[in-house]
Each structure stands twice: as C-alpha cells, then as structure tokens.
Amino acid sequence: MPALNDASQLLRTRLNLLIVFDVVAELRSVTSAAESLSLSQPALSHSLRRLRELFDDRLFIRGADGLTLTPKAKSLVRPVRDLLNSAQLLLQPEAFSPDNLDKEVRIVVAEGTLNLLDAQARMGIGGAAPRMRLRLDHPEGDGERKVRAGLYDICLWYADAVSPALHAQELFRDRYVGVVHASHPLAGRAVTLGDYNDTPHFRLDLPGLRHDPLEAALARHDVTRTIEFASHSFLSVFPSVCRAIATVPSHLATAGRRMGLNLRTFDLPFETDSLPFQMIWSDHTDQDPANAWMRKGLADAFAASIEAPAFRATNG
C-alpha cells in the first residue's frame, strides 16, 4: 500500500507540473501564469525549476518580449496539452441522462407494489429510460440484508425499523383492512368483533415489520385468531382460500382488485396503528446518479398514484 500511495502522489505532482508548463507556454509570462493558477511567483518559479530538472532542459528563456520556448519546450506543447485534455475528460464526471441509462436496476419489491402505481406513472419511469432493465424480485427472508450486501439496489416494502447502516425514505402510510372472497358470508356487510373472532383466518407475514401493529391490536382486544393458512404471498394464495378472512395492508387489497381478483374489503372492528411503506437503499448506491434518478422516479410515481382520485376511489 505505501508503494501505491507513493506512485499516486508522484502522478498528481507531475500532472500539476504539466499544468504549470501548459499555462506558462501559453502566456509566456511568469507573472501572468502565477495569477492564472492562483500561485505566488516563488511557488511558480519552484515548479519551473522542477520542470527543468524533469526534462533536463531550460524550457523557457527570458527575453525582451517575455519568455521564449526552447526547441525542447516547443516539442512538448502539443503532447502536454493532449495529455491534460485526456486527463480532464477522464476525471470529469459524465453528465447523467436517463436516455443513456443502459443498466439493470435490481429491486426487491413487496407483493403487489407496482400494481399500486397507475399506468401513466409506470410508463413515465420506463419511457424516460428506454434502455434501462428492471429486475424485480419478491423478498424471501430479509430483503434489507440483500440490499445491504449489494445484491439489490432498492427495497420497497413495509418496514417499521430500518438498520442505521441503510438509507430509507417513507413513501406513504398504510392501514390494515379485512378482506374476504366475494362468495364469503361476511362479504358486503359490517364485520363485528365476534365475526372476526369466530371466522378462520389467513395470516399474511410481512418480513419487514419488527413489531406488527396488527398483533398489538389483537392483544389489546383479546382476539385469538384461528389461523388456517399462512403465507408471505397474499395475491397468489388467498383467492383459493374462500372461507377465511385475511387482514392485509389496504394498498395490497387495492392491488388485488386492480388485478381483477373477486375480493371484498371491510373495515376492521378495532383500531390498529398505521404501517410505514419504505424505500430502502445502501451506501453502495447512495451516490450513484442512475440509482438516485430511479429512487426519485419511484417516489414521485408513488406520490402521484396515491393522491390520484381514481386510486382513492378504489381504495375506499
């Protein structure tokens, strides 16, 4: 490592000397070059001495009309300028444009997440970056751990406590609702606490929640559900479970209706705390322009969709 640091320092020093050479060769004046580079004249004279040692040549000779270049200096002008131009292009950050976003963005998404976005919002993200490729996976286990490990760029799910090693932005607050199949005896009517307590249940497991507000509310009301089915997936499993109640985030129920599932939603017969829906990412991607653009696009798309009158109507 020390050898690498020494080499890096030597490279920076020589690049700085070449910048001095380029400016002096152009202006032909030590005073003007020092002002242009914001250097004192002694500092610039010191750099000129080092340049003469480096190239073993006088390089610049004082004359009545300013500095003149030696043949050696004249031969160096073009190569030095080309080298500095190349270095500037290499070190200058490339301006980001979604039009040029030719990469795969990997996202862990809670079930039904993208169904919450209306078609215009989804098309807005993809249309602005036509060459972008999205890899969307449902979380199996700890989605945050996969983001922290760099396996995914973004995690979108319900989470009440995010690791301090990660970045998070709350996209919206959700609430629990009850859901039954349209053929269920409770469909279309108010469900009492007795109904809720006496009916078989489908339990949806939300792995991002450390402290599920539903469980806290059930404990407060001394409700013990009879769990006949349990899964991390609501949309793929519940439609075949016709005789059970599911208690799920309201936006997931909305996603199910948008998918054409024959479901009926009802207000729970007790109050629960709200559910934060988070967008989570790591230091691996925090400063990446493409991922920052994607995160802003997702945040704007969720905000636009959830505030849209059509969304509020289907979620009522």
Least reliable range by pLDDT among 2-6, 147-151, 229-233: 2-6
Residue 298 structural domain:
103-173+276-314
Do 280 and 169 lie in one domain? The reply is yes
Residue 175, amino acid: R
Do 135 and 146 lie in one domain? The reply is yes
Do 159 and 202 lie in one domain? The reply is no
Do 296 and 169 lie in one domain? The reply is yes
Between 2 and 157, the higher pLDDT residue: 157
**196, 178 contact by CB (below 8 A):** yes
The pLDDT value recorded for residue 274 is 94
pLDDT value at 310 more than 60: no
Do 182 and 164 lie in one domain? The reply is no
**188, 256 contact by CB (below 8 A):** no
Do 67 and 15 lie in one domain? The reply is yes
- Of 91, 123, 141, the domain-final residue: 91
Residue 147's CATH number = 3.40.190.10
Residue 96 lies in a domain: no
DSSP state for residue 264 in the 8-state scheme: E
The pLDDT value recorded for residue 121 is 57
The pLDDT value recorded for residue 309 is 45
Residue 255 lies in a domain: yes
pTM of the full structure: 0.67
DSSP state for residue 190 in the 8-state scheme: P
- Of 91, 111, 142, the domain-final residue: 91
The pLDDT value recorded for residue 8 is 58
Do 186 and 268 lie in one domain? The reply is yes
Residues 71-130 pLDDT 10s: 999 999 999 888 888 877 666 666 778 887 788 888 888 888 777 766 555 656 767 778
Average pLDDT over residues 141-165: 85
Do 261 and 284 lie in one domain? The reply is no
- In 3D space, the residue among 227, 214, 139, 223 whose CA is nearest the CA of residue 178 turns out to be 214
The pLDDT value recorded for residue 4 is 43
